[in-house]
Amino acid sequence: MRRSLGSLIAFFVLATTAPTRAGLFTSDWEEARDKASACFAAIDKDPSLAEINARSVRSKPTLAQLADDTYPTDSDIEQLRRREDAGRVCRDIYLTATQKEYPSLGSALALRYYQTDLVLLQLLEHRITFANANRLAQQAYLQYRLHADMYFEIQSDRQRQAMADSLDSFQKQLNEGAKPTGPRPVTCAWMGPMLKCTEQ
């Protein structure tokens, strides 16, 4: 479906907020979403992670964070690993509920989380800057929101399943190149759902 420039701008404004499609979600899914949101909020407010939370984001970076051309220190790496371990609990709550209630949408969410993991691997290996990582995280989030928007626009279960199968196929391709290899530093960008990195 072709979108006008105005509708695209409106979508990306709405994409910065949680889904608000009243009546489309089950109570079990909404309960899991709220539980996961509270879980992520606790991580965001954790004083021991304050330094890394100020520099590395999951979805909505500030202009300053998009301009942070530094690489993680050993202390940053330690905090990134602790935040990732804690965040997996939150992710599992949300992903499990979504895959159960809305399997096709679950494929889009699983891909988004896998993309997040790929970016983290690049950051932990000192291959990309915080600015690059934050931009990639923002773009992966917007890709997911676009997939979610498409999911609700599609009326056919068959078409939704076809979308899910396509996203699952992309994730299998991503699995093949998951471990960062080659020279560093690099600059990475999404080519569709695929992460492509070039030497600086």
pLDDT tens by residue, the chain, 200 residues: 433 333 333 333 333 334 445 456 788 989 999 999 999 999 999 999 999 999 999 889 999 999 999 999 999 999 999 999 999 999 999 999 999 988 888 888 998 999 999 999 999 999 999 999 999 999 999 988 888 888 778 777 777 777 777 777 766 666 655 556 666 789 999 987 788 888 87
User: What's residue 2's pLDDT?
Assistant: 39
User: What's residue 8's pLDDT?
Assistant: 33
Q: What is the value of pTM for the model shown?
A: 0.79
CB 118 within 8 A of CB 195: yes
User: What's residue 15's pLDDT?
Assistant: 34
The C-alpha atoms of residue 127 and residue 71 are separated, in whole angstroms, by 8
The residues pairing with 196 across neighbouring beta strands, listed in sequence order, are 189
In the chain, domain spans: 26-199
CA–CA distances in Å: residue 17 to residues 10, 82, 142, 149: 12, 26, 11, 13
User: What's residue 195's pLDDT?
Assistant: 86
User: What's residue 196's pLDDT?
Assistant: 87
Ramachandran assignment for 182, one of left (phi > 0), alpha (psi -120 to 50 degrees), beta (any other): left
